[in-house]
Amino acid sequence: MIGFIFRRLLQAVPLVIGVSLIAFALMHLAPGGPLAVYTLNPTIQAQDIERIKIILGLDQPLHVQYVKWATGMLTGHWGFSFFGGRPVLDIILERLPATLILMGSALSVAIILGLGIGILGAVKRYSIFDTLATSGALVALSFPTFWFGLMAIFVFAINLRWLPSGGMYEFGEEGNLLSLLRHLVLPTLVLALVITATWSRYTRSAFLEVMNQDFMRTARAKGEPQSARLFRHAFPNAAKPLVALLGVELPFLFSGALVTETIFGWPGMGRLFVDSLNMKEYPILMGLMMFTALFVIFGNLLADIAIAAMDPRVRL
């Protein structure tokens, strides 16, 4: 197992390097270069820009800049924001909890619902429930997340007045758990919709595949009740592709969170990304690109290790 983890870690190294190269290249291809806020600002003199370039090391050859930047990333020096001059890593980590709360609650809701719908659909294949669930999932996958969010606000916040339309806390109630939960309902609903649809589809096909296998027939022949067959025999075998899905879906989760946070004014990383984009805050944008990509690489690593722990064949 330790050998497997070590080999899998080694495989992640080229990915990390690749991701950093793409992020670095993107920022240097940007119009106005990494200093666009200054170069596109007519009140800043050319000689000042030259001075800033030298201070930040932007006058050096690209490969030198890359190595400096990459070693900075490795040691936690992610640069400073243009506005406010605060460390980028601090700004991102400040926003991380809000995003994790949103993604965590949406993912939990989606996995529970998706597993339930998927298993039921597989057990009662071609029933009315199954047909409705599979076509419903495809309909749910067709909703633009932001529009579904707008409609949720329209119905539950504006018409029924049950829930707040945005933000994370009521003013003056920061840290109040009840207030947080009330604000969490709609964003969770919106973000969970698409993930639930994906999960129910994958759960259904994973279970259908397992249920056709010989050991399931044997279990049935032995007279085991359906619940035991499903949860003791089918579930452990169907779980592997689902754990892999957890890793693969991470980028989509981040994309969905960005859109959801923007609509509901949720103070997370996605909102930070859109705000930084509007202000041309390249250091923060670059930091967020790297942070999410590293998060995705790490998540896939964990998923693979979990799969290897579940199935000894994978470890070889």
Partner 1 sequence: MQSRVWQRFRTHRLAVAGLVTVSALLLAAILAPILAPRDPTLIETQLRFLAPFANASLPLGSDELGRDTLSRLLHGGRVSLTVGLVAMITTVLTGALVGIAAGYLGGIVDTLLMRFVDTMLCFPQVFLLLVVAAFVPPTLLSISLIIGLTSWMEVSRIVRAEILQLKEQDFVAAARALGASRRRIMFRELLPNAAAPILVAATLKVASAVLMESYISYLGYGVQPPLASWGNMLTNAQGYLDTVPWLAILPGLMITLTVMGFNFLGDGLRDALDPRLRMDP
Q: Which two tokens stand for residue 197?
A: 């649809």
Distance, in Å, from the CA atom of 140 to the CA atom of 142, rounded to the nearest integer, reads 5
User: At closest approach, how far in Å is the CB of 213 from partner 1?
Assistant: 17
Stretch near partner 1 under the rule CB under 8 A, chosen from 85-93, 100-108, 230-238, 253-261: 253-261
Stretch near partner 1 under the rule CB under 8 A, chosen from 19-27, 101-109, 110-118, 180-188: 19-27
Q: Determine the distance from the C-alpha atom of residue 248 to the mean position of all C-alpha atoms in its chain, rounded to a whole number.
A: 10
Yes or no: say if 195 and 249 are a contact pair by the CB < 8 Å rule.
Answer: yes
Distance, in Å, from the CA atom of 117 to the CA atom of 112, rounded to the nearest integer, reads 9
Q: Which of 13, 22, 74, 93 binds partner 1 (CB under 8 A)?
A: 22
Q: Which of 4, 66, 143, 169 binds partner 1 (CB under 8 A)?
A: 143
Which residues 47-76 are close enough to bind partner 1 by CB under 8 A? none
Yes or no: say if 173 and 179 are a contact pair by the CB < 8 Å rule.
Answer: yes
User: At closest approach, how far in Å is the CB of 282 from partner 1?
Assistant: 9
User: At closest approach, how far in Å is the CB of 30 from partner 1?
Assistant: 5
Yes or no: say if 120 and 129 are a contact pair by the CB < 8 Å rule.
Answer: yes
**Considering the rule CB under 8 A, would residue 304 count as an interface residue with partner 1?**
no
Yes or no: say if 294 and 16 are a contact pair by the CB < 8 Å rule.
Answer: yes
Stretch near partner 1 under the rule CB under 8 A, chosen from 98-106, 112-120, 184-192, 256-264: 256-264
**Considering the rule CB under 8 A, would residue 125 count as an interface residue with partner 1?**
yes
CA distances from 55 to 51, 60, 105, 172, 193 (A): 6, 11, 44, 42, 48
Closest Cα partner for 69 from 27, 13, 33, 32? 27
Amino acid letter, 224:
E
Distance, in Å, from the CA atom of 207 to the CA atom of 200, rounded to the nearest integer, reads 10
Q: Which of 122, 195, 289, 307 binds partner 1 (CB under 8 A)?
A: 289
**Considering the rule CB under 8 A, would residue 26 count as an interface residue with partner 1?**
yes
Q: Which of 31, 61, 172, 225 binds partner 1 (CB under 8 A)?
A: 31
Choose between 25 and 228: whose C-beta lies nearer to partner 1.
25
**Considering the rule CB under 8 A, would residue 139 count as an interface residue with partner 1?**
yes
Distance, in Å, from the CA atom of 117 to the CA atom of 33, rounded to the nearest integer, reads 49
Amino acid letter, 83:
F
List residues binding partner 1 (CB under 8 A): 14-15, 18-19, 22, 26, 29-31, 125-126, 130-131, 134-135, 138-139, 141-148, 150-151, 153-154, 158, 201, 205, 251-255, 258-259, 262-263, 273-274, 277, 280, 285, 288-289, 292-293, 296-297
